[in-house]
Structure formats: structure tokens, C-alpha cells
A and B are shown apart, each in its own frame.
Chain A
Amino acid sequence: MTPRIHIDTAACNGYGNCLVAAPDVFDLDPDTNIAFTQPGHPTEADHDSLREAEADCPVRAIRISES
């Protein structure tokens, strides 16, 4: 199953914890400082780090679901 990532861009306040948990998946937009997912991701292999990114978000802006 491929994980699906939802980012609530209104809630995101640029903490960047997701970058620390899953550096290959997340990045922050240099202009808006809001999180986005990098192209080509995620894969199943990212599962654990994605769950960490979800749990680590201080404003709970990340939701991971399986599709």
C-alpha cells in the first residue's frame, strides 16, 4: 500500500519537524515556509518516517493515510 500524505497548508507554520523526520519526502517552500512533498514520493519504504513526521508536527498539519 502506498501511503498518502495530506498537508493542511493553512495550519502549517513552518516548524520543519517533518523535514527532520522524513528528509527525503518533505521540504519547506522557501518563500512561504509551508511544507510540501517532494516529487516521486512517498513510497512504502518511507512508512515509518512518515508516521514520525505526522506525530512530530506541532500543529498536526500532516495526516498519513493508506491508499
Chain B
Amino acid sequence: MSTIGTGDRIPHCPVSETITTNTAEGEQMTSPTGGFEFDHLSPGWNDTTLWDAYERLLSAGAATYSPLHGGYWIISRYSEVKKALRDHETFSSASGHRIPMVDGMSSIPIDYDPPVHTHYRSLLTRALTPDSIRDLQPWLTSMISEVVAAFYQSGGGDAVAEVALSIPLRVLTKIVGFSPATVARFRELTEDIWKDGTAESQLRGRAALVDALDRDIDEHRARRPDDYLTWLLDAEVDGRPIDIGEIHSVLLTLAVAGHETTLNSVSTLLYLLASDLPLQERLRADPSVAPRYVEEMLRLRTPAQMFARRTNRAVDVGDTTIPAGSWVLLLNAAANRDPHQFEHPTAFDIDRSARGHLAFGWGIHQCVGSALARSELRILLETLCQYPPITLAADPAFTAIEAGTHFGLRKLPLAFIDAAPRS
């Protein structure tokens, strides 16, 4: 068996067909459907191979076993992924949300089960209440207008760096209270964590991010501005004061999950628009359909693609029994392309109902920032309608599955289709 990302590599083909797969116990097991290995950590994924692999996984069976990274089960079908996401008692998060999980890389609240999860999650919802998101709308509108105006004035450029990253970083200064100098380092420091794929680099990268956060924490302790970060310093967890490790972990979640997901959402949305002029024209004719564009992008090209769980007991998934103690990878992005749930699933169709897509997850761990993300993306689309249409200025570059979860664009060179030169 050859797989990319481990040992011998076949370039540009991160999946390889096999007739047999190994079980956790090392026995040979014949897959009735003819399984194939899937390596989410392969550096070889691209915009074609990834979606093809999902299509094959969806038709391969309800649960597929991969012997890589210590062995894990893959669940890709919509009904089964959703069932697992809802059943947090069987599909535990306490061992971590990544495969493989490095000791010391646990995050609040995603890597915890209730009741601890419940206490931790409320620390984050405080920053993101529906009311505060509603109040944020005018600020979001003016901030996004500024970002798009600057991008237009410079004649376009790399929309990943200039638009997709700027928006979430500015939001983080606003809703958390991070300083602009600190958020400016978040992307580089996050990339450092995953740079060479080792446990050491993850831990070293995390420590560097914590150092950056400590500056803002010290500043908040000294000056106590009226913002979320100051609130967090005095927060209670289940009736006792929060400790510094917990403060770091909450802030890391906001810093990393708070920019990476939106970064990929914005770049993906812009890519879809730039490669389809009629799609832009339809939006410009009626900007009130913007939320449909947002939901359909989230369904079709789910930015946070997959999350791990570990089984607390043996569980039947379709006609397969997954043993207790198994790692399981839930492919939300594949589930969102399941033909049994969404008709003609590979088409971007804003007339469909994308309702129920799993792009923000489902159940107790679902994205705490979904209302904020939806607002940012809708406002971005409405703002773009005030400018000439966008087009690809050069070939875009896609990411692999970053940090074992995220898919988006690394580079997206855009230009405006201008009727008249800018003054």
C-alpha cells in the first residue's frame, strides 16, 4: 500500500486504492466495498483531489478504516456525521479534535466533554452573544468598506492577504481587545505551529503564540480597558477563578480559530465569485440574496472540513461496528456533498436550501462564532456590489488540509473589471 504523506509518496494522489485495510488490532480486514486509504494530512491535496476523494468515500461505505496515524475510522455520509456530532456521549472530544493529537495542544472548549465543556464554552459565548453581534453590524459595515475600498484603490492584488485576512484580524481587535500589533502576528505564528508537522513544532509554536498573548494580558491587567479580555481575566469557571492556563487557552482559540476559519471562508467566497461572472451579476441585481451565497459556499466548500472524536463505547455506523476507544474522523465537508442530503451536490446552486449543512458543525461543539461569520460574509458581499466585478488576475493557489482541518486558498490574485480607470 502506498499513501502520500507517509513514507513512500505518489505525488498528487493522496488516496490509493486497496482491497484490504488493517484494523486497529493489526488484522487484515477486507472491505466489502473496496476501501482506500485517506490521509487528511497529506501535503498533496488540491482543489480537485480533495473533492474526488470525498465522492469516493461517500460511495465506499458508512465508515471506512484508515491505518495511518495510529489508525482511525472515517465517517463521511451526512446522516452518520450528523448523528455522531449529536451523540457527544459516544463520540467524545476529551481525547482531542485532531488525528494525531499532540499532548499539550488541547484547546478550550473543543477538546472537552460536558460538564467541563459547558463551563468552558460559556467563556467564549460571552464574547459572541447574538445581541453583541447585532450591535456590531454598523462597525462591521464600515470596517469591511474600508478594507474593500483600499483593495480597489490598489487595483486588486492578493485577496487572501489584503481582504480575507484583514477582516477577521480587525474583528479580533474589536471583540476581544487584542492590540493591532498582536493580531498582525497571528497568521505567521499560526503557520509556524504546523510548519514541519512535528509535535515539537506544535508545542514551540503554541508557546510563541502564548508569549504574544501575554503582552496583551499584561497590558489589560495594568490598564483594565472595558473589553472582553479584561472580563476574561476575572471570569469564573464553575464557581472558582479562572487560571492562567485557561486564559491562555481561551485566547488561543479566539486568536487561531477566530481568524483561520474566516480567512478561508472569505477567500473561498471571493474565489467562487471571481471565477463566475454571471454569479456576480445575479448578486448585484439583488444583493438581498447574499445570505444564500454565504450558506451555499459553506456547504459546497466547507472551510473547516473535519474534526476528530474518540468512541467511548462500541458503536454501529451503517453496517460497521466501530470499537470502543477508536479514533474517528468526521468529514463535515464530505457530508455537505452527500447526494442523499443535497441534490446535485457538487453544483453551487443558490436556489437550493443549504439548510442543515454541517459547515459550523452540529451539537454541543458547533461553532461559537457562526453568527459573526455569517454577518461578516454577508456584509462583504453587499459591499462588493458597490464596486466593479472581480476577476481572477492569475491562477489561485489552494491550501492542503491545514492543521488537519482547514481548506481554503493560499493565494488569490484578483483584479477589478473596470470600465473606467480609477482616479
Whether, in the assembled complex, A3 has its beta carbon less than 8 Å from a beta carbon of chain B, the answer is no
18 CB < 8 A contacts A-B: A13-B118, A13-B122, A13-B364, A14-B122, A14-B129, A15-B366, A17-B366, A27-B130, A28-B129, A28-B131, A30-B129, A33-B122, A33-B125, A33-B126, A58-B362, A58-B363, A58-B364, A59-B364
Whether, in the assembled complex, A64 has its beta carbon less than 8 Å from a beta carbon of chain B, the answer is no
Taking CB atoms and an 8 Å cut-off, the chain B residues in 83-124 that contact chain A are 86, 118, 121-122
Q: Helix, strand, loop or mixed for chain B's interface?
A: helix
Which residues of chain A are near B121, meaning CB under 8 Å? 13
Whether, in the assembled complex, B371 has its beta carbon less than 8 Å from a beta carbon of chain A, the answer is yes
Which residues of chain B are near A59, meaning CB under 8 Å? 364
Show the binding face of B for A, using Cβ within 8 Å: 86, 118, 121-122, 125-126, 129-132, 362-364, 366, 371
Taking CB atoms and an 8 Å cut-off, the chain A residues in 17-43 that contact chain B are 17, 19, 27-28, 30, 33
CA distance A33 to B363 in the complex (A): 17
Q: Give chain A's interface residue range (CB within 8 Å of chain B).
A: 10 to 19
CA distance A58 to B360 in the complex (A): 13
Which residues of chain A are near B364, meaning CB under 8 Å? 13, 15, 58-59
* Best-buried of B118, B129, B362 by chain A (most CB within 10 Å): B129
Nearest CB of A to B123, in Å:
11
Which residues of chain A are near B131, meaning CB under 8 Å? 28, 30
CA distance A17 to B132 in the complex (A): 16
Contact A13 B125 (CB under 8 A): yes
Closest 7 CB pairs of A and B: A30-B131, A14-B125, A58-B364, A58-B363, A28-B130, A33-B129, A16-B130
Which residues of chain B are near A16, meaning CB under 8 Å? 130, 371
Contact B130 A19 (CB under 8 A): yes
Which residues of chain A are near B363, meaning CB under 8 Å? 58
0/1 interface trace, chain A 52-67, chain B, CB 8 Å (1 if under): 0000001100000000
Nearest CB of A to B108, in Å:
14
Q: Which residue of A lies closest to B364 (CB)?
A: A58
Which residues of chain A are near B362, meaning CB under 8 Å? 58
Which residues of chain A are near B122, meaning CB under 8 Å? 13-14, 33
CA distance A33 to B131 in the complex (A): 9
Nearest CB of A to B234, in Å:
16
CA distance A25 to B115 in the complex (A): 28
Which residues of chain B are near A15, meaning CB under 8 Å? 364, 366
Nearest CB of B to A22, in Å:
13
Contact B366 A58 (CB under 8 A): yes
Nearest CB of A to B86, in Å:
8
CA distance A33 to B122 in the complex (A): 9
CA distance A58 to B362 in the complex (A): 7
CA distance A17 to B85 in the complex (A): 15
Nearest CB of B to A53, in Å:
13
With A30-B132, A33-B129, A58-B86 given, can you name 18 additional A-B contacts, CB distance below 8 Å?
A: A13-B121, A13-B122, A13-B364, A14-B122, A14-B125, A14-B129, A15-B364, A15-B366, A16-B130, A16-B371, A19-B130, A27-B130, A28-B129, A28-B131, A30-B131, A33-B125, A58-B363, A59-B364
CA distance A17 to B371 in the complex (A): 10
Which residues of chain A are near B118, meaning CB under 8 Å? 13
Nearest CB of B to A10, in Å:
11
